[in-house]
Amino acid sequence: MRAFFDMGGYAAFVWPAYAVTLAVVLLNIFWAYRALERSRTEARRRLQVQGERR
Amino acid sequence: MNWSWFHRLASPPHVYALAARLTPWFAWPAAVAIIAGLWGGLVLAPPDYQQGDGFRIIYVHAPSAWMSLMVYVTMAVSAAVGLVWRIKVAHAVAASCAPIGASFTFAALVTGALWGQPMWGTYWQWDPRLTSELVLLFLYLGYMGLRAGIEDPQRADRASAVLAVVGVVNVPIIHYSVTWWNSLHQAPSVMRLAKPAMPLAMLLPLLLMLLGFTLFFVALLLVRLRGEVLARERAASWIREVVSA
């Protein structure tokens, strides 16, 4: 187990590389759903404005 | 041959519903492929005879770099389709691609720097491969900045599509940079005509990661596409059905 985390002495490069990639993957999921939610909220607001005009 | 399914791909309500339905079919296989690829790459693959365990950065670096290029090509092709046939859904696909591509270009640059330091003795060089990849990041950011700066969505779609299409010349430059010029970066070891230059125990996890990231891109694209399609619709009756919660 120690040897695995040590990565043959390259731990200081291997693990940050994996951490950055994992962060990008997770952020992409978060950003995608946040963008969708914003569009839905915005669409709801537009419908309301139209409803009031009628 | 019945082409109605193809024509329906230009219909916003159809695409919105289809994207929602298809997302899990890409997201879950992506998760399985990435977890299997990580296990294979970090645990099962043997250390490299020159780079020891340092080579394992390839399992995050190569898929990120692949994403940076593949997403750009997807973006440029859909932007071109949007420009030529004036299809809103195509522009929506292009707009959905940009933030995904930009973030993975960033990941490719950072993981590359972290690989470069122990193997080449430097995090960064103004080398053809590295520089052209940095230009790719600026293309994505320029595309997003241009869109953000234009209020009218149709004008934003057209202006940014021109940028996306022109910028595609950078893609072959990145790919062939290591063959055309003397580069620090190694030549392709998988994306080449000859047999991959890697034993199977190293290659298989890499192929799984490439597959997993590609499926993940499609899943992300489908989620973002719904938002982009909604944003382009004004007063369409189907919107009421999908947003009234």
Closest listed residue to residue B118, CA positions, set A24, A8, A1, A2 = A8
Cβ atoms of B10 and B235 within 8 Å: the answer is no
Instruction: Give me the mean pLDDT over the B172-199 stretch.
Output: 85
Give domain status of residue B8, yes or no: no
What pLDDT is attached to residue B188? 84
Give domain status of residue B11, yes or no: no
Q: pLDDT category, B4, cuts 50, 70, 90?
A: confident
Q: pLDDT category, B121, cuts 50, 70, 90?
A: very high
Rg (CA), chain B: 20
Is the pLDDT assigned to residue B43 strictly greater than 70?
yes
Q: Which domain holds residue B149?
A: 32-235
What pLDDT is attached to residue A41? 93
Give domain status of residue B9, yes or no: no
What pLDDT is attached to residue A54? 63
Residue A15 at interface with chain B, using a CB cutoff of 8 Å: no
Of B107, B226, B244, the CB nearest to A24: B107
Q: Which domain holds residue A29?
A: 2-53
Q: Which one has a higher pLDDT value, B124 or B3? A: B124
Q: Tokens 């790919």 label which residue?
A: B175
What pLDDT is attached to residue B117? 95
**What is the number of structural domains in chain B?**
1
Length of chain A as a residue count: 54
Cβ atoms of B91 and B78 within 8 Å: the answer is yes
- Can you state the angle between helices B170-180 and B58-85, rounded to 10 degrees? 140
| The dihedral formed by the CA atoms of B128, B133, B135 and B136, expressed in degrees to the nearest 10 | 150
- List the helix and strand counts (H, then E) for chain A: 2, 0
How many angstroms separate the CA of residue A26 from the nearest CA in chain B? 11
What span, in angstroms and rounded, lies between the C-alpha atoms of B35 and B205?
10
Instruction: Tell me the chain A residues in contact with residue B240 when contact means C-beta distances shorter than 8 Å.
Output: 47
pLDDT, tens digit (0-9, with 9 covering 90-100), for B139-185? 999 999 999 999 999 999 999 999 999 999 999 999 999 888 888 89
Closest listed residue to residue B241, CA positions, set B12, B24, B8, B23 = B12
What is the overall mean pLDDT for chain B?
93
pLDDT, tens digit (0-9, with 9 covering 90-100), for B86-108? 999 999 999 999 999 999 999 99
pLDDT in tens, chain A (54 residues): 888 999 999 999 999 999 999 999 999 999 999 999 999 999 998 888 877 776
Give domain status of residue B1, yes or no: no
Do A17 and B57 lie within an 8 Å CB cutoff?
Answer: yes
Task: Report how many Cβ contacts below 8 Å link chain A to chain B.
Answer: 102
Q: pLDDT category, B245, cuts 50, 70, 90?
A: low
**What is the number of structural domains in chain A?**
1
Q: Which of A5, A22, A25, A30 to mutate to test the interface with B (most CBs of B within 10 A)?
A: A25
What pLDDT is attached to residue A35? 97
Instruction: Tell me the chain A residues in contact with residue B228 when contact means C-beta distances shorter than 8 Å.
Output: 39
Cβ atoms of B112 and B130 within 8 Å: the answer is yes
Cβ atoms of B15 and B225 within 8 Å: the answer is yes
Is the pLDDT assigned to residue B191 strictly greater than 90?
no
